């Protein structure tokens, strides 16, 4: 299998337990400035992990959740993410939640539904600074792209078949913007409908195309949490398109 | 916390009622980035965070703690959700394949799917694509 854009240069590293893949094309793909931008992307994602990981007991978000520190002791990014999470909860009618029940039944602060997309969108700023260079950056299957020439070839993004993750069920040709998918194919049931606390019914995956990965990621999770109302809810969102794959194999394109 | 102002919880509730539902429509509301308000009651305390200037506008939240756990997060201000990006592109639409394609037939650059773990990456479609292009 060869990538659609054979002249692109690719990079891969891991952070937060997931692969980060980058494809660059244009003026700076394999020189010092390209490598330095890639290093800056990874450094930023590692810093986000240090602050936001709920798996690290010493992260800022874990300490905030335990009440050891207050919001004023946190970096401004924490306020930004919690604000985004609350905004998402409001816009999703409560299907998207930033707090989830912990093992002891008490609520645990878990902004993971916001952090990944927000962090990758932010990290992509280092790539936007590369002159005359297009990019497609994937954080574990959620991606943000840029194409400089408005008439040039788009990036071709394959949407994984949630029932058979080694296959592609749709292709999204995208020049600049973001694509995010929520589903349970690789990590099992971890998204619940915040209104019921139960895994959503009927839906296998939701893919959302939006201007920013911050909102593509949030809306994919929120739409997925809506279960059988996933496509209906996604249609209410401004400037989004997407694809809902149902558990019975049917698909709905949201245009 | 350096500059703590003690507020009654009732005052804080009014603040929250005033600002709490502007999340998807309001532009930034005027607020001081210096003042930190703390309300207390036997049930918990609410701490108002500083105003964070983000790329999308100002964001400010209040956090309620009870028994040292976060029990509520309230947005006091957030940017306009319906903001249009300056560089909005032609909307990209998913094109369904005739049938599910395997890796060899898929003419693609990247894969969007449920989050791939580092452990599962090597066997994933994205892993195969990267391998071919590295």
Tell which residue, A143, A141, A178, has the closest CA to residue A161: A141
**pLDDT of B124 above 70:** yes
Of A217, A50, A223, A12, residue with least CA distance to A121: A217
Mean pLDDT over A3-18 rounds to: 85
How far apart are the two ends of chain B, measured CA to CA in Å? 50
Q: Domains of chain A (ranges plus CATH)?
A: 2-254 (3.10.520.10)
CATH number at residue B78: 3.90.1010.20
Q: Please give the structure tokens belonging to residue B29.
A: 């509301």
Residue of A nearest to B77 (CA): A83
Domain count, chain B: 1
Residue B6 sits at the chain A interface (C-beta within 8 Å) = no
pLDDT digits 0-9 by tens, A126-157: 999 999 999 999 999 999 999 998 888 999 99
Position with higher pLDDT, A226 vs B116:
A226
pLDDT higher than 90, residue B18: no
Q: How far is A120 from chain B (nearest CA, A)?
A: 13
Chain B closest CA to A22's CA: distance in Å?
A: 9
pTM value > 0.90: no
**B30 within some domain:** no
Establish if B113 belongs to a structural domain.
yes
- Structural domain including B81 reads 44-132
Q: What confidence tier does A189 reach under pLDDT thresholds 50, 70, 90?
A: low
Mean pLDDT computed over B80-102: 62
How many Å separate Cα B25 from the centre of its chain?
Answer: 16
Q: Alpha helix (H) ranges present in A206-250? A: 213-225, 230-235
CB contact residues (below 8 A), chain B span 57-96, against chain A: 59-61, 63, 65, 67-71, 73-75, 78, 81-82, 84-85, 87-96
Give a yes or no: residue B80 inside a domain.
Answer: yes
Nearest chain B residue to A159 by CA: give it.
B112
Residue of A6, A167, A177 with shortest CB distance to B92: A177
- Residue in B49, B94, B129 nearest the CB of A207: B94
Of A84, A159, A253, the CB nearest to B112: A159
- Residue B32 lies inside a defined structural domain of this protein: no
In a domain, B34, yes or no: no
B28 touches chain A (CB under 8 A): no
Residue of A nearest to B92 (CA): A174
**B21 found inside a domain:** no
């Amino acid at each position: 299998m060869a990538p659609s854009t054979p002249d692109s240069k690719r990079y891969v590293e891991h952070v937060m337990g997931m692969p980060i893949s980058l494809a660059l094309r244009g003026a700076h793909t394999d020189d010092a400035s390209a490598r330095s931008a890639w290093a800056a992307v990874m450094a930023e994602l590692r810093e986000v992990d240090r602050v936001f990981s709920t798996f690290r007991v010493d992260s800022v978000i874990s300490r905030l959740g335990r009440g050891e520190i207050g919001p004023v002791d946190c970096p401004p990014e924490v306020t930004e993410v919690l604000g985004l999470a609350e905004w998402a909860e409001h816009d999703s009618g409560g299907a998207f939640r930033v707090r989830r029940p912990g093992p002891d039944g008490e609520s645990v602060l878990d902004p993971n539904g916001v952090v990944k997309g927000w962090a990758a969108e932010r990290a992509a700023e280092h790539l936007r600074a590369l002159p005359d260079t297009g990019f497609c950056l994937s954080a574990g299957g959620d991606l943000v792209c840029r194409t400089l020439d408005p008439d040039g070839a788009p990036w071709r993004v394959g949407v994984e078949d949630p029932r058979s993750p080694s296959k592609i069920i749709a292709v999204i040709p995208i020049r600049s913007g973001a694509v995010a998918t929520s589903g349970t194919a690789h990590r099992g049931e971890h998204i619940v409908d915040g209104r019921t606390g139960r895994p959503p019914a009927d839906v296998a995956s939701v893919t959302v195309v939006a201007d920013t990965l911050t909102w593509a990621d949030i809306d994919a999770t929120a739409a997925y949490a809506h279960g059988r109302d996933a496509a209906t809810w996604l249609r209410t969102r401004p400037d989004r398109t997407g694809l809902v794959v149902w558990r019975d194999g049917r698909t709905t394109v949201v245009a | 916390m350096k500059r703590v102002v003690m507020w009654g919880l009732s005052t804080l509730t009014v603040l929250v009622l005033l600002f709490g539902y502007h999340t998807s429509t309001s532009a930034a509301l005027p607020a001081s980035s210096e003042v930190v308000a703390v309300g207390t009651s036997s049930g918990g305390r609410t701490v108002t965070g500083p105003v964070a200037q983000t790329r999308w506008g100002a964001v400010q939240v209040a956090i309620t703690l009870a028994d040292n756990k976060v029990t509520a997060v309230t947005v006091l201000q957030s940017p306009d959700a319906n903001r249009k990006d300056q560089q909005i592109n032609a909307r990209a639409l998913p094109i369904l394949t005739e049938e599910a394609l395997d890796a060899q037939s898929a003419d693609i650059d990247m894969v969007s799917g449920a989050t791939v773990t580092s452990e599962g990456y090597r066997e994933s479609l994205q892993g195969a694509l990267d391998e071919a292009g590295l």
